[in-house]
Structure 1
């Protein structure tokens, strides 16, 4: 099994859930074949701690942005700030950013402003935009399209669990859909159907750890090693054998996260 390699394209290793045993968590991931992890900073004032994790652990890369649920109580990021952070050799994506109208609809306007700022930084740096979308499909599809017409950029819809229309819009723009533990939940057939219909060269896998643990760990703390369970379910969903699906998602990740693919370990 472990000669098959995959990448956890989205996790949160700086969260307190991992504080007691972070080296062991990373070791377990590598032992499971999860040889690379992108840990995501959701509030820019925490970027130094997230960067330190990437610097301390060879398999770990990082991205930073202001999470849409945090924009109301965090200073708005500027494109220049994000572009400056992107100079770091292990800084590989912009975000996560996006729209969340499920919990924080009252800050919709400032979320949209923040999203456009992150898109500008993604466009300038040629790093992929990392999108969080919840209960905001129409505005998300509209803004992504408007901004793409202003200038191309690359993007992953992280933890994709939205509707088929937003999936279609993202795929039409050349973007990627990332499969989280949600796609392995028994009641998630509608999401599996969206993935099954998507081009196989646009699929990534992730944990969003410590959240959304896939079966058989559902309800417990998630960790990057469990990407394996989601990816194996993903292979079934896409009608591919396991090594083929793993290799496909690796190629997809490398195509989108070009900075990770080119990283040689210097810096």
Structure 2
């Protein structure tokens, strides 16, 4: 049984010189044989780091002269909505150059985030999101979507963003700038760490997106996410860690890593009434269909 972690921040594993190597070894040993490393860095200045990780030793999971003990690694590149104020023309040019590389298979994570008070204003976030959808459309590569509403935010953030709904704004912008002819029509993408409602899931699916489920699927208060996970078509589901964040139960609160995606996959399989082996096969096929160069 081999799994794919469709969203992990591998460049965060740098607390010791060997930490990332150890994390990747544990991932492969756990059956996680492919990882999509997310290239947002700490902002545009470092969004190349994931691609550097994916490109080292070909990213093929091998180290010359040794058996395969590391996952295959692919990368994305993008400007997170928290960094939207830094989506300058120079940053967008860098994104386009990174996105043109073979092992960079997606643009993201990009989108809208009305959760933190310190995030840029709505218009700035929207402009950065639209600009990056245009880059992805030109590159002919799928997009990885981050969407976080202000519903559970601090009072200060709720006051700043008012009645605005990140999901409504996001889906409207996707409809206007991504799914139409001449834009990203047919390219699709991933609703990363899907945390919306069944209605939002259905609208995302209708727009051509896959739903990727992370460790929060296992949290007691996440019934809405579990409901969406049950109704999603089998050919549109993925699993991820969002490592080093959102460790699943029974390890919630610990530092997450790709190996732990097995817990989320097991929970998703149980919800859908299928075996873990079938869930692994389905999600692997879905990933490879969305990203044909990974086949």
Is 1:201 matched up with 2:201?
A: no
What TM-score comes out, normalization by structure 1 length? 0.91
Q: Offset at 1:19?
A: 4.5
Tell me the residue number matched to 1:265: none
Tell me the residue number matched to 1:118: 132
Q: Offset at 1:106?
A: 4.7
Is 1:219 matched up with 2:249?
A: no
Tell me the residue number matched to 2:162: none
Is residue 76–residue 107 contact of structure 2 (8 Å, CA) maintained in 1? yes
Tell me the residue number matched to 1:22: 20
Partners of 1:116 and 1:123 lie apart in 2 by: 11
Structure 1, unaligned runs of 5 or more: 262-267
Is 1:190 matched up with 2:224?
A: yes
SS in 1 for 2:106: strand
Tell me the residue number matched to 2:180: 149
Structure 2, unaligned runs of 5 or more: 61-71, 150-165
Tell me the residue number matched to 2:5: 8
Of 78, 82, 87, 1:69 maps to 82
Rg bigger for which structure?
Answer: 2
Tell me the residue number matched to 1:264: none
Tell me the residue number matched to 2:142: 128
Partners of 1:182 and 1:68 lie apart in 2 by: 21
Is residue 65–residue 77 contact of structure 1 (8 Å, CA) maintained in 2? no
Is residue 11–residue 207 contact of structure 1 (8 Å, CA) maintained in 2? yes
Is residue 85–residue 120 contact of structure 2 (8 Å, CA) maintained in 1? no
Q: Offset at 1:149?
A: 2.1
Q: Offset at 1:23?
A: 0.5
CA offset digits 1:149-193 (Å, max 9, x no partner) = 253131100000022232111101121000000111122111110
Of 168, 184, 195, 1:138 maps to 168
Q: Offset at 1:238?
A: 1.6
Q: Offset at 1:74?
A: 5.5
What TM-score comes out, normalization by structure 2 length? 0.82
Q: Which protein, 1 or 2, shows the higher relative CO under an 8 Å CA cutoff with sep ≥ 6?
A: 1
Q: Offset at 1:137?
A: 1.0
Tell me the residue number matched to 2:277: 243
Is residue 12–residue 40 contact of structure 1 (8 Å, CA) maintained in 2? yes
Tell me the residue number matched to 1:36: 34
Tell me the residue number matched to 1:95: 108
Is residue 39–residue 47 contact of structure 2 (8 Å, CA) maintained in 1? yes
